[in-house]
Each structure stands twice: as C-alpha cells, then as structure tokens.
Structure 1
Amino acid sequence: MHSHSWLNLIMFATIVALATFLYIKPSLQEEESYKISSLSAEAVQHIRIARQGTLIELSRSGNRWQMRKPVQGRVNGVKVERILEILSATSQHLLPSTNLSHYGLASPVIELQVDQESFSFGDLAPITNEQYVAIRQQVFLISPHYAATLPVLPTDLLDSRLFAEDEIPVEFVLTHIHLKHGEHWQVNSHHQEQALSQDELNQWVQGWQLAQATYLTLDSGKADMDGEEISIMLRDGRKIKLIAEQNESELTLLREDEGIRYHFPSSIGKRLLDPFSINKEQAVFAE
C-alpha cells in the first residue's frame, strides 16, 4: 500500500473516531452523577420531619438522638442513621425547577429538614420509578428508598427499650414487693415462705434493664385508675414512675416522664411484675 493510501486511511480513521466521540459525548454527560447534599451525617444536630400534619423534631445530645416533638423520648439511633443516608445520595438526573406541580412538589407529601437543608419529596417518575426531590431550588430523581426511611408515626422512631443503657435500677417498689440494692439485693415481700438467690434476683433485674417492647403508643392523657404504680430508683438518683396494666394478652407500662406506653407480651409481663415467677416456672417444669 502506498504512503498516500496509508495517509488517507489514517485520516479516515481519525474522522470516524472523532465522529464517534462527538456522538457519544452527550450520553456521557447525561450519566453525570450529582451529589444532592453537601452535609455530613456526623455533623448533623437537628432533624425535622413533616408528613400529612404530623411534625417530628429530633436533636442530637452527645452521641444520642432525642425526640423533642411531639413527645420527649429516646430515639433509635440506627433508624436515624438510615434517615441521614440521604445526605450521601447521588442522582443522574438534574431537572428544571420551573414547574414543581409536574413533579408533585407544589404540595410535597413529605418534607425533611436536616439542620438548615430542606428536602421535599414528590411523585414517582413513571419510567425510572425514582422519586422527585427538591433541594436548594433544584429537582433531582433519587431512589424512593430514602423516603421509605422516614417515619409515619413518632413511635416508629422511638427506642423500644424501656430503659436507656445508662439508666441502672437500684431499687424497685411494686405493690407486693420491695427490692433494694446495697451490698447485695434485699427483698421485702409477701412471699415470706419463698426465697430467691442473688443470681435469681440479678436475672430478674436484668430482665427489666433489657426489656424491649413489641410496640409503643403515646399516652392519651387519660388517668389510669386501675393501673398498678411502680417506682424505680436509678443509680444516678432519678426516680422513674411506671403505671402497669395487664390483661390476658399483654402488659403495658406507661413511663410518666416520657408519656410513652411500652407494650409487652403477657409472658414477659408476668416475669417483670413478679420475680418469684422464676420459682413458679421451675416448679412447673419439674412436674
């Protein structure tokens, strides 16, 4: 092949390569990824969630999250971490924000505020099944997973454990028993004919410390006339007052300081209210 033919071939290949690059360049630009937030989850101090008239406000206290509205309560930290995953979300679609009603963002179904940054959630896109979200006067398409992490009810975020890790009971006052810790646990009970070992008492107290409700409800504000009052003194000097109500299916414990009812299966409820149930269960098993 002559040098002139080689030159023509090289020029032709160059033109084809350039045309191919110019053709695919727009599609490459369409695949550009946009980070929708500049915030760091570790630095966030406040979260506000508004959904269909329900307002939830959270704030960070040290390494823990607390609910401030509509009730004061301890929050499940893992669930908050899932909410804050939106801060690292990316989108392949940056859309014009001129017609918000087209995206269902004129009246957002959910609004999330993280510190000073606000996210509004709209409709799902019909083709990609992604969700429209508006932030800083920009509209993105992101996975609907992020909206799914937001609670429907305040109780969806609350910690289901009856006590926080640093709430260490040192005294229990129930209707039929008084248990107090000095050098060891001392019991004053109507069950004078029965005795519990220190291991059994420690097991019972641990049951209270680790008690985790199957679900939570907010206090209605109505007085509990038939409930049993339980007083629990903590190691830091605080006193927790509970109102217990039990039926065949469950035990409910209202923490008056939180205004939250913790619901437990009846089997767990019997053990919590009666440390001597350990002996009763052992007797049944022996039979």
Structure 2
Amino acid sequence: MKKRWLLNLFLLAVVASLVTFLYVRPKTEANKGAEYEVSTYKLAEFNAIAIEFPAKAAVTFEKIDGYWRLTAPYKTRADQLSVQRILAIIAAKSREKIVSDDMAKFGLVNPALKLKLFRDKNNSEEFLFGTYNPLTDEQYISHKNTVYLISNTYAEAASTQVVEMVDKAPLKPTEKVAGFDFSRLEQWEASRLNVDLVDGQWKVSIKEAKPLQNEMNEWVDYSWIHTLAKSVELYTPDRKTVYPSLEIKMADGSKVHFDKIQESPDLLLGRPDEGLMYTFPSDSGFVMLNPPINVPSK
C-alpha cells in the first residue's frame, strides 16, 4: 500500500513538473523574442531626405507632386522603390534597446552615415549608423539618444550607388501616352509610321495596317508604361551626331524625344530632356520599336 502511495506521489510530481515547464516555456521564449520599435513615424510625414557620408557628397531627395525626385548630386526622377527602402528605417525593429552616454563604442560619434528625414526644413528626424556587431552581423544605430541593433539592409539601402536610385522607367508616371512617331527610325522611315490614339482607338498611318486594339493596348502597357530598363546612366547628347530617333506624343500635346544610340546587342535609348540613357535587352527593345500594327506581307 505504501509503495502504491509513493508511486502516485511520484506521478503527481512528474505531472506538476510538466505543467510548470509548459507554463513557463512560452513566457521565456516570448521574452527572448521581444522587439523594440525604432520609431512610430508614418511615411506620409516626410517630404525630403538627406543621406550624409563622411567622405563623399550627400544624396538628397524631395517629394514633388506625390513622387520622389533626386535633388543631389544631380536632379532627376528617383526610383520610388529605392526611396521606400530608405524610408523603411522608420518601421525597423530591434531586439536590443540601449540607453548609453558612450556612443563611441558603437561607432556613433563618427557615424558611417547619417540619415535625415524632413517634414520641413526646420523639422527633421536623424538616424546615425555605426559599427557592426560581429556576432549577429547587425548594425548599431542611434535615434533620439537611444541605440538599437538592426539588420544591415537599412544601411545598404541608403548607401546604394546614386545611379541605381534613378527611375528605370523611360516615361514619367504623370506622362499619358497618346501616340508615337516612328518615322525617323530606319525600319519605318519609308512608311513614315505614326500611331495615334484617337477617341480611344489606335489609328495607324499605314493604310494596309489592321491593328487589333487589345494588342495595341497591351503593347503600349507592356513596352512603354510598365517596362523598366536593366540599367540607367547619365546622357549628354553629342550635338555633332544625328541619331535615329522617335517621339512619344502625350495627351497634353507635349512630346518626349528619344535618341536611338544602338539597337544591338542591347537597345540604348537616350532621353535628352532628362539627360538619361536607358539600356534594354535586345528582345524587349525590338518589341518597343515595332508595334503590332499587322501590316499584311506582300
């Protein structure tokens, strides 16, 4: 009888220990997984950005008419996703939150970069990026005299080469396509090809052409509105050279001119008004310059 009593007591102790373990374990894991928000700001609060480096020129952006533009070291359209990745710092979370007067040990006295987000010229928030933690490969940053340890992707986004932050779309988001003048391209020079959107329908200057509206809409959408160049670089037109060219007509009556620098092995299109040259793969480039107008073969 005594043995059975001892056995029951032992089993009760085991069950109690198991219950205690299961009860305590989630709390321990939750504590280990605690995260701190670097800030509670909203993206819409900010309309200008400055990225400052110790040994090279600052990079600045400004939000104009709802779109981000590079304003230094040169002025042009910015890649909107690149800017969003920079602004993502405001939503960063950290497993470490350190209040310390010794910023030197985190590399924050002479930071690797400073990121300033502006509401207006007199109202900004500053984030300093310091050294890396060799154990976690995360980076120390400070904001409002508090140190956090965050992913190194935030510094990478802010340190991207400036030319990679230029918008890779050949047309501005606000430019509404209403037609194309291909008459100065070699393959269309004889026929003087023009394609125009008239009362919602695509019309072609070549009599024999039989364009299908859905095909034309898809071509414009795929090839010009949503296409992205694989790279972009600064472009200064050579005034001594006359390139084959095309013009895209806009709904407001304006025109955008492109120089065709080369067609193979990649298509290079220069946009003089913005001082940019776009590189497209040859297959995509061929489609861009040859709309599906369905001219019967002779």
Q: Same fold (TM over 0.5)?
A: yes
Distance 1:33 1:180, change over 3 A: closer
Q: Deviations over 1:114-159 (max 9, x none)?
A: 1111212121023343212133344332222321222422232333
**Letter matched to residue 53 of structure 1:** K
Asked if residue 195 in structure 1 is aligned to residue 195 in structure 2, the reply is no
Asked if residue 257 in structure 1 is aligned to residue 273 in structure 2, the reply is yes
Identity of aligned residues (%): 26
| Structure 2 runs not aligned, ≥5 long | 1-30, 119-123
Cα pair 1:109 1:122 within 8 Å, conserved: yes
Cα pair 1:71 1:259 within 8 Å, conserved: no
- CA–CA distance in 2 between the matches of 1:143 and 1:202? 43
* Partner of residue 202 from structure 2, selected from 180, 185, 194: 185
The aligned residue for residue 76 of structure 1 is: 79
SS of the aligned residue for 1:66 comes to: strand
**Letter matched to residue 213 of structure 1:** A
Distance 1:97 1:90, change over 3 A: farther
* Partner of residue 255 from structure 2, selected from 212, 221, 239: 239
The aligned residue for residue 155 of structure 1 is: 163
**Aligned runs of 1:128-147 on 2, under 5 Å?**
128-147=136-155
Cα pair 1:231 1:241 within 8 Å, conserved: yes
Q: Deviations over 1:45-104 (max 9, x none)?
A: 11122345143222223543222223433333333333222113344231524352x333
**Aligned runs of 1:1-287 on 2, under 5 Å?**
34-51=36-53, 52-91=55-94, 92-100=96-104, 102-115=105-118, 116-174=124-182, 175=184, 176=189, 177-183=193-199, 184-188=201-205, 195-199=209-213, 200-206=215-221, 207-219=223-235, 221-223=236-238, 225-275=241-291
**Letter matched to residue 256 of structure 1:** P
The aligned residue for residue 21 of structure 2 is: none
Q: Deviations over 1:203-223 (max 9, x none)?
A: 44332233221222222x352
Q: CA deviation at 1:250?
A: 0.6
SS of the aligned residue for 2:89 comes to: helix
Q: CA deviation at 1:185?
A: 3.3
- CA–CA distance in 2 between the matches of 1:188 and 1:277? 10
| Structure 1 runs not aligned, ≥5 long | 1-27
Cα pair 2:97 2:146 within 8 Å, conserved: no
Q: CA deviation at 1:226?
A: 4.8
SS of the aligned residue for 1:236 comes to: coil
Cα pair 2:107 2:130 within 8 Å, conserved: yes
- CA–CA distance in 1 between the matches of 2:80 and 2:136? 31
**Letter matched to residue 167 of structure 1:** E
**Letter matched to residue 236 of structure 1:** D
SS of the aligned residue for 1:262 comes to: strand
- CA–CA distance in 2 between the matches of 1:59 and 1:149? 17
Q: Deviations over 1:166-211 (max 9, x none)?
A: 422213223022223334434346xx7x524243544443322332
TM-score between both structures, scaled by the size of structure 1: 0.72
RMSD of aligned residue pairs (Cα, Å): 3.1
SS of the aligned residue for 1:149 comes to: helix
SS of the aligned residue for 1:121 comes to: strand
Distance 1:211 1:90, change over 3 A: closer
Cα pair 2:99 2:145 within 8 Å, conserved: no
SS of the aligned residue for 2:267 comes to: strand
Cα pair 2:211 2:292 within 8 Å, conserved: no
